[in-house]
Structure formats: C-alpha cells, structure tokens
Amino acid sequence: MLMRTINRTEEAVICILLVAITLLVFADVVMRFGFNAGFMWSQELTLHMSAWFVLFGTSYGLKAGSHIGMDAFVKLFSFNNRRIMSGIGAILALVYCYLVLYGSWVYLAKMKKIGLTMEDLPIPVWLANGMLFVGFVFLTIRLFILLFAIITGKTDGFKHADEAKESMALAQEIMEEKRS
C-alpha cells in the first residue's frame, strides 16, 4: 500500500511537470499573439521545470525499465553470468550517482554561500537547482533496490521484470473502469 502511494505520487509529479511545461509554453504563445504581452519569467521557469522533470523522473524510468542500453553483448551469457555483469554495472552506476551527488553538493553549497538568486525568479539558485541532488538520491535508492534484486536472483539486468506485470495491472484497471 505504501509502495503504491509512493508510486502514484511519483507518477503524478512527473505528469504534472510535463503538462505544466506544455501549458506554460502554450500560454506564452497565447499571451504574445493574442494579448501582445509576455512574461519575463516564463522562459526560466519552463527550462527549470524541464530540468526537474528529467532529474526527478530518471529514477522512475529505472524502475519502469525505460532507459535504453545495449544488451546485445550481455545476452550472450547465461543467467548467472548476466547477473554478475549487471551487478557490476549497477555498482558502476552507483559510483556515477555518488560522483554527481558529491559534485552537486559542492556546487549547491557554493551557490548557497554566495546567496545567488535566479535571473528572473526570486528563488535562490541552490533551491532551484537542488533537484540535481534530490533526483540522484532517488536514483541511488532505486539502484540499491535493483542491485538487491540482482543479488537475490530476481532479475538479471536493468530492464525490470516487474514492468510487464505492472503495465498489465494498469491495463486491467482501465478495463475494469470501462466495464463499470
């Protein structure tokens, strides 16, 4: 139940961000063409929301198995060897997360210390760019879960097996709704 709530919240945030970006750009066009006006802040907000969208959504993408990779080589090996290779891969991906987390911490701390705000919005830079850190924390958690699944033999790679099940569940829900 808790996992389900977390999932739904995550999905909702991602969808809301994409819809908000689209509406904001559309509003820009309407304002300029229809009302001969414009917002100075809309470009900066749009661009930052798109960065939040990607950074926040990347860990979800790992869960949903939507990140693409080259699996041709790994496929040549047996299930257990694939697990070893993917395990190393997951650890390397964790190293990547660690490096980004470390770098972004230094960067954000520097911005906070200087007290820099964004160009058009009165928001501190460290807060606006903080999604860099948050997104990679989520990604780290997801990678640990994946690594655990690989170790316990539940999966052998980055494409999560649960994904198929889950989209089935969603399809079923839609079917049920249709019936009612």
Binders in 74-113 for another protein, by CB under 8 A: 74, 82, 85-86, 88-89, 92-93, 95-96, 99-100, 102-104, 106-107, 110-111
Phi-psi region of 35 (alpha: psi -120 to 50; beta: other; left: phi over 0): alpha
Candidate list 1, 5, 70, 180; residue touching another protein; CB under 8 A: 70
What is the C-alpha separation between 99 and 140, in angstroms, rounded?
Answer: 11
Answer whether 126's CB lies under 8 Å from 59's CB.
no
| Minimum distance of another protein from residue 152's CB (angstroms) | 18
Both tokens of residue 60?
């979800």
Q: Among residues 131, 133, 142, 140, which one has the least CA distance to residue 51?
A: 131
Site membership for another protein, residue 6 (CB under 8 A): no
- Identity of the residue, 95 or 148, whose beta carbon is nearer to another protein in the bound complex: 95
Site membership for another protein, residue 60 (CB under 8 A): yes
| Minimum distance of another protein from residue 3's CB (angstroms) | 17
Candidate list 80, 81, 120, 154; residue touching another protein; CB under 8 A: 120
